[in-house]
A and B are shown apart, each in its own frame.
Chain A
């Protein structure tokens, strides 16, 4: 029933409403349906759609559609798999003008005034900071000259190429440098005096965090290479140092004392170099194998490679248990002979070795013979020897982004970038800057920003070069080409 209540107003007037009509009617629902809605998270809705329920039928026409297209698609897939139409086809979306261009030329005026060379460069793990070690690369009375380590942050706005962001003064020449792979503030350095130091650049006061000091354990000869080595406990690193006295030492840092503790020690002596048909090493020569270069394998934590002043190239093992045939020098740790395999020796010092980040068996080495030798760990002879320069090659390093590319820095000042994918053995790009007074002593690729290459020279400058797209972007068949090269090992 419907009714209307008459309204009343306050002014006493009687409302004029008509008579109310009413009628009766009945209503009853005949059929019912129940429906509900609920919002569901976006992902869930799609998940339901994509999981075919066992009892759900395929959408109509799907079978017919697939029958229609199957043959065409399979034919195209097959043809595409066999096609060579696009083999060498590459498109350049980036703007290419030159293969290499110089971005910055960094100098530390006080080091230059003292005639110091750049002995080593290393990028921080973040890729923003370049650390440069100064010292001398030739012999002389320079050992008593104080030198320094400078860092520049290239990502900072107010980058001043003539003024380093941080200068660490060091009492003697710095001969080796390596930034920590995980902690951007830590830098390990090796000195001409044989000391090994770790600096913490986040400290404002004294940046020296840990050092070996002049103890019975430490090196007595210049340390030509330092490297951070992962220890058994994840996240912990030790420092491996190699000196021209034939010692390779593994240090762990005691942060409370600020001193390094010797963890393992290896000594290389000529008598303990593995025999091979090449090496008719006369034991009566020098009594030590002076280490000039060291490389860790990113694939096998037990392997490391060593290059010597006499041209030896050795594969060594951290876990070797053979005691070294040297008189005990009061070390706390037994000296061990690590050499396991000897590669074809060179005629002069091996200045640089680097293991390929893309293939477990490949490494490249270079020295005074002016050539870069591509080796496999599996055989003594090199796979390939490329002529780099008429003068010594001081450093060689693989590109972090292109498996077939490596760069070599030569004593006459030129830096060549080689691409093994090219048919010609000539360099893909060259950084010229002539003159022996500007010898290129060290170089380092930036793993985070793979288009950057740092180059240190004897005139005390560090140049940051930018590489073109071609030299940094990996092409589709590179890894398999590298595999082919590595498989050329003689049976």
Chain B
């Protein structure tokens, strides 16, 4: 599975290449974040190489072609604290939405992180909006704890977030993130949630396991992805299983 790099330098007339599992059809109406990117980007001259590949778990199926993986993510970050549980990521009342139905998938995105308490004065998705302007979420310990609801990483991905960089994860959320490809779950070495502020411009360099905060000028080491690596690289659990011969190819 591939994760897009959300930068306004990527042209609007992208050709979407699809994987055998997760893909957007070229005719998809959701051209997402590329359209509504904030104006800050004109101030920051750093352009990031990225694959034009965008894959999402719940998009309509398309004929299979090769996947290429993104090498980085770039955009504004949204900072949360410790133990952000799945009820805060997507409150239970919204779980009647079925992630595998495209229109309900989009609705889930509009409710991402709506359960955060009022102490979070800046909302992740502005009221009235359906997408977020923050492509990277920076979290503390035990991110995604609580329920097994896959709606949680799905809501984050559907809202337009590309990656989460947390100090640590709860296991079901991490697993679901890897399985769906909705958000790339990265782990930091230190408490980035104390180093970064919502609205900072950050870049995550995957190959180098590095996060750069352009606003503060600091760089941070990230942990390598570990055992989930082969599954992510293959393109998710289905792709991995096909690749290793555990289930028949389609």
Q: Do A and B come from one complex?
A: no
On B, residues with C-beta under 8 Å from A are none
Interface residues of A (CB under 8 A from B): none
